[in-house]
Amino acid sequence: MSSLLSSAWAPLAGLGLATPSWALTAVAAAAALALVPAARRRWHLSRAKHRSLAGHSRMAKRVAGWVPGYRLEGPRVYDADGAPPEVAAQRQAALQAQAERWRVRFARTLAATSQARSGLSDLQFTGAYRVPFPFSDALRQHLPVGAFVEHSDGFTVADLDGNTFIDLTGSYGVNVFGQDFYKACIEEATRRARPLGAVLGAYHPCVADVVARLQRISGLEEVSFHMSGTEAVMQAVRLARYHTGRRHLVRFAGAYHGWWEDVQPGPGNPMPPRETYTLAEMSERSLRVLRERSDIACVLVNPLQALHPNKAAPGDSSLVDGSRRAGYDRAAYTRWLQQLREVCTARGIVLIFDEVFLGFRLDPRGAQAYFGVRADLVTYGKTLGGGLPVGVLCGRHALMKRYREDRPADLCFARGTFNAHPYVMCAMQVFLERLESPEICHHYVGLDERFEDRARRLNAALQEAGAPVRARAMSSVWTIEYTQPGRYHWMFQYHLREQGLALSWVGTGRLIFPLTMDERTFDEVVRRFVRAAQTMQAAGWWWHDGQTTHADLRRRVIGEMLTAWWAARRGPRGPAQGAGDGRLSRPGDPALQKTEAARADPAARPEAGAAVPSSTA
């Protein structure tokens, strides 16, 4: 570089206008001064990232690529926390007895799930990630979970064997008002839409009414319809970039905004992070980044993160040591949203509320009304469709426009064949009408206090039963914490299911209650929780020596990973392999291949009682 500058300066130096040494010094000083603001902004950006892997997408992807696949086999399935032989034997006997009951009770449902699994990729995925992966194979053998239900009534669902469960899955957030509410919405929507049928392109007459209702709810001027929450978020980000002329978006660590690449950097996305900054939520350092940078088009906020800021959605597959934590502080999160609003307004950054999940669960006018903060763009979905698939974007007129009149070829294109489908729009209309009815409105009165009281009642019952379990609530959305270290807390989801509580595939990480659940039904939930905790205790899964810490258990897991990694380095016949010695095995090991072959012949299985086929989810 210095030689290039010297040669470039030579003509001027020859004219006596400057000397190369002076010129180089001046240019170097100017370059250094020019780089100082950029370096400072880059330093502040780095400091605004959350210290966990959730805040470092590139590093998280790298670490995910290093984690070796392995499976605990034989005795190690039962003593991975250092339990003594008698406790391990107790656990093994309890699991085998539970597996036998499971096989009989859920026979038809498991058979249908087994038949569907090989052709249904979603089922394979969710079945593999119900528990931490070292235990996944053993649990799929012993306690496969049926994926089929055929009937719902009020707050319950029933499987193919006639088993009835109180539904705490929330249908991934759709079920805000109970199953019967959505049946009625769909039935009435079908009646309204039938005369037109599936005519697309033109609008059903109900669309005008739906738009007017959404304008009142959102307080925003325009509406666009999409087929999923992910699509609505995609359009919101695209419009923000289009109107600001900036490329980058900000999301906060752990937040979920759909599976689109730009809003889901890190593990799960094959592409590296591009124009996405992942910052720490509820952090002054993040606000400083927003104040300093001029390349940020929008900030995405998912208010559900108020329950667990800077952490990914809790699932039992991540219960490695039992250190799950959650807690909701409405006042603190409200202050955070107010600060975001102030900074975004000052810097011309588009503030987007992603209310696809939480939306009408907190307030009939959504999270904007609940927290008292107005966004520039808001996405809705899930429950808004009245039980049918939908995504909606509401926004200010200046941001929703998809073309420029002074430059007609400069468009922001977004269309979809099934957007504004007549049946979906009619279901949305019915939903919005009933949202304003007195019988629905009264469920919002004292909503937070009601569910906080319910969480206290459940926790008191669990504490009295001596269970190391506590519920943390954000209104009707709960997560379960564990008050002692442990490697087997994920077993609790199977005991809850056996007691007749339906959970989604993420297990105890997310319980979703309908707002309409009555006290009698909730009291039954408490009773079933306590019974499940008692059977969990009796089986020995919550054994603890009183000394082992979360860090101790994490070190055990790291040791297992290093063993598996070393075995992979040594080759398929290396000494670290071997399910037969009760340690661990990895894909490709002869011992694992032998185990796989044994699954095809239940009588040849090394563990008596493992009678449930592993081909179910």
Structural domains in the chain plus CATH codes: 179-308+333-444 (3.40.640.10)
Q: How far apart are CA 235 and CA 296, in angstroms?
A: 16
Dist CA 513 CA 530 (whole Å): 18
Report the pLDDT averaged over residues 281-302. 97
Q: What pLDDT, on the 0 to 100 scale, is given for residue 56? A: 86
Between 66 and 238, the more confident residue is 238
pLDDT at 57: 87
What confidence score (pLDDT) does residue 34 get? 58
DSSP string over 545-588: -S---HHHHHHHHHHHHHHHHHHHHH-TT-TT--TTTTSEE-TT
Q: Would you tell me how many other CB atoms lie within 10 Å of the CB of residue 450?
A: 17
Instruction: Determine the 3-state secondary structure of 421 from DSSP.
Output: coil
Computed over every residue of the chain, the mean pLDDT equals 89
pLDDT digits (tens, 9 = 90+) for 541-572: 999 999 999 999 999 999 999 999 888 888 75
pLDDT of amino acid 542: 98
Neighbours of 188 (CB within 10 A): 18
Contact (Cβ atoms closer than 8 angstroms) between residue 447 and residue 515: yes
Q: pLDDT of 51-64, one tens digit each?
A: 888 888 888 888 88
Angle at 332 between CA 329 and CA 335, to 5 degrees: 145
217-229 pLDDT, tens per residue? 999 999 999 999 9
Q: pLDDT for 470-481, tens place per residue?
A: 999 999 999 999
Cα(152)–Cα(166) distance, integer angstroms? 10
**Segment 119-146 mean pLDDT:** 95
Q: What predicted TM-score, i.e. pTM, was given to this entire model?
A: 0.87
Span 372-425, pLDDT tens digits: 999 999 999 999 999 999 999 999 999 999 999 899 899 988 888 889 999 999
Q: How many CB atoms lie within 10 A of CB 482?
A: 22
pLDDT surpassing 80 at residue 604? no
pLDDT at 570: 81
Query: How many CB atoms within 10 Å of residue 249?
Result: 25
